[in-house]
Homo-oligomer: A and B are copies of this chain.
Amino acid sequence: MSTSPALKKDQQLQNRARILVKCPDKPGIVSLLSSFLHTHNANIIASNQYSSDPEDGTFFIRIEYHCENLVGKRDAMEKEFAQLAKTHDMTYSFHYKAIRQRAAIYVSKETHCLMELLWEWQNGDLDMDIAVVISNSDVARPMVEALGIPYYYIPANKDIREQVEAQQIRLMEEFKVDLLILARYMQILTPNFVAHFESRIINIHHSFLPAFIGANPYARAFDRGVKLIGATSHYVTNDLDEGPIIEQDVERVDHRDDVATLKKIGQKIERRVLAKAVKWHLENRIIVEGNKTIVFH
């Protein structure tokens, strides 16, 4: 009896997982982890590692593995691994491909980043559920609701920040959101809000950070006469535009490009930089360490 391709694909999804581990570097860790997986008949599909320093540094690894009947085995595996981790001072997390992350997308009036995310998502390139879209404008409602995604229009400004954030936090809980994507959501978040979602809020900033932190980066890039403009996706911390950088990219501009043109060119960069950052986050390719990221490709 053979298996249909669709069923096979589904089983493959059920049997795929990733483990991320961080621990003090010392000989034998890869051996330990790979033996653990082998004992459970898991086949390593991909593996990336990094050590801040082979002597006395910190060791990071991401292993993607395939394991028959993973659903039946994973609780036992996790329990066993907890013991191992304790012995070797490991911080770790398991991620199962079959359990999709649930994302909330925050957006303001400019919808280009939202559109790119929706597009990639419809195209099957972003392995997440879009639980909800939150906006301080109503402009994106039709395109979002057309896809069957709930849309909440919550007017926001700095005077009502606390009520707005309280409502947003309730919605994040209600929709069981794992990841918040600020797709050009032009509001500053309070430390309280950020604390709720540590390393789970991805922002796109419309400059090549650390140049042009803060407001109006395109106008300031124009004034400075730079020859390249950029965009930066990063995790949000309480220091404005200072969080761990995930991805950056640039495009060439010249003296003829006015601020409006810079903005248009910049939108294309923002779209692709944010989409990449989200994709890598969903694939558990990113480890935040201090104020920097390790991104395993």
Are A31 and B35 touching (Cβ within 8 A)?
A: yes
Per-residue contact bits, chain A 155-175, to B (CB 8 Å; 1 contact, 0 not): 000000000000000000000
A34-B43 CB under 8 A given contacts A50-B255, A293-B255: no
Cα distance A43–B254 when bound, in Å? 22
Please count how many residues in chain A sit with their CB below 8 Å of the partner chain's CB atoms.
Answer: 59
User: What's the nearest-Cβ distance from chain B to residue A175, in Å?
Assistant: 27
A46-B49 CB under 8 A given contacts A225-B292, A255-B294: yes
Instruction: Report copies per complex.
Output: 4
Interface residue stretch chosen among A78-86, A96-104, A190-198, A209-217? A209-217
Per-residue contact bits, chain A 261-297, to B (CB 8 Å; 1 contact, 0 not): 0001000100010000000000000000001111101
User: What's the nearest-Cβ distance from chain B to residue A3, in Å?
Assistant: 12
Are B245 and A227 touching (Cβ within 8 A)?
A: yes
Of A226, A247, A268, A295, the most chain B CB neighbours within 10 A belong to A226
Are A30 and B34 touching (Cβ within 8 A)?
A: yes
Q: Which of B224, B245, B255 contacts A295 (CB 8 A)?
A: B255
Interface SS of A by simple majority:
mixed
**Cβ of A203 < 8 Å from any Cβ of B?**
no
Are A30 and B49 touching (Cβ within 8 A)?
A: no
Closest A-B pairs by Cβ, 6 of them: A225-B292, A31-B34, A31-B38, A211-B211, A27-B43, A30-B34
Residue contacts A-B, CB under 8 angstroms, 19 given: A27-B37, A27-B38, A30-B30, A30-B47, A31-B35, A43-B54, A45-B54, A46-B49, A50-B255, A125-B264, A208-B228, A209-B226, A210-B226, A224-B292, A227-B295, A228-B230, A250-B250, A254-B297, A255-B294
